[in-house]
Amino acid sequence: MEAFVIEEEKEGRPSLLFIHKWMEAHPGLSAGFSSRHGGVSDQELNSLNCALHVQDAPANVLENRKRLAEAIGFPFGSWTCAEQVHGKKVTKVTAKDRGKGKESRELAIQESDGLTTDDPGTLLTAFFADCVPLYFFDPVRRAVALSHAGWKGTAMNIAAETIQTMRDAYGSRPKHILCAIGPSIGQCCYEVDRNVAGRVEEALSSDGYTSEWTESDWRQVRTVKPNGKVMLNLKEANRQFMIKAGILPTNIEISGLCTSCNTQLFFSHRKEHGKTGRMTAWIALSEVNG
């Protein structure tokens, strides 16, 4: 069953996907992913573009972000985001950081592809168009995290970096952490050069993790085409990095949705040749129900 459940656009509320299973089991938790519908941006950014770094009018982006925040029951002032740089740095966010980056890139948390907080009321957000959103929730320590993993972040193992940051900051234990891997480009559509796949394989293979793997295990992560190009499965690679870091496989939700196969629903950087908008992944604990 698809982990990210879509709720269609209605009465000015954008079309959003929610991790229903988590939200039903954990009142006060909100986690999900926006579609491209229900905003005010036009042309290739039609219509819920949430990122300021693409060629969009800032006023449109802010209106789109406000609509999203309102739809999920958070004040716009709680919207917190970082300047994503395809790195592996994960930043601990406290109440004093709340709202950083909501209206400008300059005021965002700088150079960070992961955010974590235990502050109820801080809405962690990050932006995507094919890259993989990674969600983390520790129900014991009541802490959340959100990371951005393109192939570089995946190969740098930002998944493990996020888990380690939660351990250091909140005393989270991997066996308690729930993870989710959101809509992103699937193995069906993600062709890369051999060296890109090699970087991911190398990182996965450290500490003997893949020493027992058969060729069919490897095919879950990547398949090599006759022309030498590789179809890479970033979702599965991140799932394996999570397991390698001590997350229980039964605690990992994974979306089957490919952004590149579904441009009627999502922005896709690859499919739309870079001329496209960005979706928002979000995770937060609310102050009211927590």
Among 95, 107, 140, 188, binds Zn ion (CB under 5 A): 188
Kindly indicate which of the ranges 19-27, 133-141, 180-188, 279-287 contains the residues binding Zn ion, using the contact rule CB under 5 A. Answer: 180-188
Residue 183 binds Zn ion (CB under 5 A)? no
Query: Considering the complex, what minimum distance in angstroms separates the CB of residue 31 from Zn ion?
Result: 23
| Contacts (CB under 5 A) with Zn ion, residues 220-259 | 258
Strand partners, 184: 258
For residues 170 and 190, which CB has a smaller minimum distance to Zn ion in the complex?
190
For residues 176 and 229, which CB has a smaller minimum distance to Zn ion in the complex?
229
For residues 251 and 262, which CB has a smaller minimum distance to Zn ion in the complex?
262
User: HEC profile for the chain?
Assistant: CCCEEEECCECCECCEEEEHHHHHHCCCEEEEEECCCCCCCCHHHCCCCCCCCCCCCHHHHHHHHHHHHHHCCCCHHHEECECCCCCCCEEECCHHHCCCCCCCCCCCECCCCEEEECCCCCEEEEEECCCEEEEEEECCCCEEEEEEECHHHHHCCHHHHHHHHHHHHHCCCHHHCEEEECCECCCCCCEECHHHHHHHHHHHHHHHCCCCCCHHHHHHHEEECCCCCEEECHHHHHHHHHHHCCCCHHHEEECCCECCCCCCCCCCCCCCCCCCCCEEEEEEECCCCC
Strands 132-138 and 143-149: antiparallel
For residues 57 and 189, which CB has a smaller minimum distance to Zn ion in the complex?
189
- Residues binding Zn ion: number (CB under 5 A): 6
Kindly indicate which of the ranges 154-162, 181-189, 211-219, 267-275 contains the residues binding Zn ion, using the contact rule CB under 5 A. Answer: 181-189
Residue 260 binds Zn ion (CB under 5 A)? yes
Residue 265 binds Zn ion (CB under 5 A)? no
For residues 85 and 261, which CB has a smaller minimum distance to Zn ion in the complex?
261
For residues 100 and 271, which CB has a smaller minimum distance to Zn ion in the complex?
271
What is the phi-psi region of residue 101: left when phi exceeds 0, alpha when psi lies from -120 to 50, beta otherwise? Answer: left
Task: Give how far Cα 191 sits from Cα of 63, 185, 225, 230, 274, Å.
Answer: 35, 10, 9, 6, 16
Among 6, 254, 261, 265, binds Zn ion (CB under 5 A): 261
Query: Considering the complex, what minimum distance in angstroms separates the CB of residue 259 from Zn ion?
Result: 8
Kindly indicate which of the ranges 53-61, 158-166, 179-187, 241-249 contains the residues binding Zn ion, using the contact rule CB under 5 A. Answer: 179-187
Query: Considering the complex, what minimum distance in angstroms separates the CB of residue 190 from Zn ion?
Result: 8
Among 186, 200, 203, 238, binds Zn ion (CB under 5 A): 186
Residue 189 binds Zn ion (CB under 5 A)? yes
Residue 159 binds Zn ion (CB under 5 A)? no
Query: Considering the complex, what minimum distance in angstroms separates the CB of residue 198 from Zn ion?
Result: 22
Binding site for Zn ion (CB under 5 A): 186, 188-189, 258, 260-261
